[in-house]
Structure 1
């Protein structure tokens, strides 16, 4: 955030205008420890921070934002909004478009997987007789994400790059990531009694999977997209 804010200040610096105040809203699940997050921030930061726990959908006024950044954020939206990847993509673009000023910029960092990373790479976490749930991957394929973005009537793609992730996760790292993404949804569906057991089983499955046991086999990429709000 420090880098982004400094870049914005330099771009719009003017001797005739007062430097505006910057506010950064951190959104996450209600159970997140925001105090630990805040204590890790730079003490001399040039922006003020606030916590917004829970679902942030439809909370923002229309035509409010000039710059919006979403990093891995697509996984945090409520389950009811993810019934269909395509409908989710259309609905989410519309919500973000309403919040953006004309010509506003939205930057997306979205984890994705190559097309050849198919269903055979998924891990079935429950044994027979238990609720059926598929882990991983939690990300969509990059071709699907690009197709969704290209169908937007509200935004135009200013720039897009596909980056290879430089963070190679261990099995414990994958489990921690999946738990952060899935735990609340699973708790709401099945209760919290099975959560620890579920992720213990997931860890065992990943440890014997060539795709995840060796970090060098990780094929996750990051789709970096700069979108501009249409003037129409």
Structure 2
């Protein structure tokens, strides 16, 4: 028989979950999935840089699982559930999942639990408009796990309570849930006229993006707190900036500034209206680990187990870097650009953009890309 205190706690938890569900339902989540299919401009064909991040994370991922994953707390469960949040279309997600499975199996064996290695189930999550057909058509034939697709924004709960042992997200949480409302409002002090991003904008625009980031991470962590079992881990890798680096000097932001400059060139050529650019903003934020740590502390449901710089090697042939950047940005941004400006200007835009990347890389010090790996553990309430 449950005591009144336990009954009250269960009731309050149920009410809390209902309140969260209602809040998430009322929020607006913008969907900007990567370019689908397997054509020349697709994410599948243009995600080498993200793949390098997966490769660079493997050793740290192994270390995190070996040292921080308490598999005994999951016993005697016969299944181990993994969620890849922001999986896109592959093939990078399959490489990451393979690395996770290998490390978890190694952990079981190292503790003499060979006979208790569980069945693995992997939930591939992304927006409903993600090309899940492409994702599942390219699933590895020799995979050692059961696969399922889970559509929905990861800024809300997408999986059942206490159902996930290990959550992973690679180069995805830099995408905000939406463009901050104020930056597209011509009556707001944060109106971002003539620019498409916050990094070279006014302080009001930067604060609007910072506030949106803070709200989004609160939603992200609260959703994961519902989904992940006690003792479960989250591993996040993401491009960002060191806390002492100005937003305008962060390499991901500099790359987006060049895209904005290319759009303004098309305005001057009469190809696109200035009003179209004024009302267009990219919902991407380069966070620091200090900002993420503050969000984790506010949430209170996770401990930070590891923070590391992710040493992603640069491409040796720098002459190919401008084209590589242009093709990768197109694979990631084509959907949002097409929605705002139409499809007919994309080729001209990215030709201009590649030329600006060539000029930028050859004449200025762009600095090294900054990527982080952060490991969080679900605490008991």
* TM-score for both structures, normalised by structure 1: 0.78
**CA shift for structure 1 position 126:** 1.6
Please give the per-residue CA displacement for 1:63-102, whole angstroms capped at 9, x wherever unaligned: 1111111111214564269871111111111111111112
Tell me how far apart the structure 1 counterparts of residues 344 and 218 of structure 2 sit (CA, whole Å). Answer: 36
Matching of residue 157 in structure 1 with residue 308 in structure 2: no
Displacement of 1:116 after TM fit? Answer: 2.9
Helix, strand or coil at the partner of 1:25: strand
The match for 1:67 among 147, 155, 166 is 166
Map residues 6-17 of structure 1 onto 2, 5 A cutoff: 6-12=102-108, 14=113, 17=116
Contact 1:138 1:178 in 2 (8 A): no
Task: Please state if 1:176 is matched with 2:176.
Answer: no
Instruction: Give 1:30-49 correspondences, 5 Å limit.
Output: 30=129, 32=131, 34-35=133-134, 38-39=137-138, 41=140, 43-49=141-147
Shift of 1:143: 4.2
Supply the RMSD in Å over aligned alpha carbons: 3.5
Question: Quick one: structure 1 residues 209 and 138, their matched pair in 2 at CA, closer, same or farther if it must change by over 3 Å?
Answer: farther
Secondary structure in structure 2 of the residue aligned to 1:209: helix
Match of 2:232 among 80, 83, 104: 104
Q: Summarize deviations over 1:161-202 as a string: whole Å, max 9, x none.
A: 113321348112222232233222233334334333333332
Residue-pair matches, total? 228
The counterpart of 1:221, out of the listed 334, 351, 370, is 370
Q: Does 1:93 align with 2:217?
A: no
What corresponds to 2:120 in structure 1?
22
Cα deviation, residue 146, structure 1: 4.2
Structure with more helix by fraction: 2
Task: Tell me, yes or no, if the aligned pair for 2:176 and 2:216 is still in contact at 8 Å.
Answer: no
Between the aligned partners of 1:89 and 1:55, the Cα distance in structure 2 is 13
Q: Normalization by structure 2: what TM-score? A: 0.50
Against the structure 1 CA distance between its residues 40 and 208, is the aligned structure 2 distance closer, same or farther, given a 3 Å change threshold? farther
1:147 to 1:104, Cα distance in 2 relative to 1, 3 A: same
CA contact (8 A) 2:123 2:147 kept: yes
2: CA distance, partners of 1:148 / 1:52? 25
The answer to whether the 8 A contact 1:150-1:157 is kept is no
Deviation at 1:36, TM superposition (A): 7.0
Alpha carbons of structure 1 residues 117 and 205: separation in structure 2 relative to 1, 3 Å: farther
* 91-100 or 140-149, which deviates more: 140-149
How far off is 1:34 after superposition?
Answer: 4.9
Distance change (3 Å), C-alpha of 1:208 and 1:107: same
Uncovered stretches (5+) of structure 1, i.e. residues with no partner: none
Match of 2:360 in 1: 209
Aligned to 1:4: 100
Higher alpha-carbon Rg: 2
**Pairwise CA distance, 1:158:** 0.9
Whether the 8 Å CA contact 1:113–1:219 is kept in 2: the answer is no
SS at match of 1:225: strand
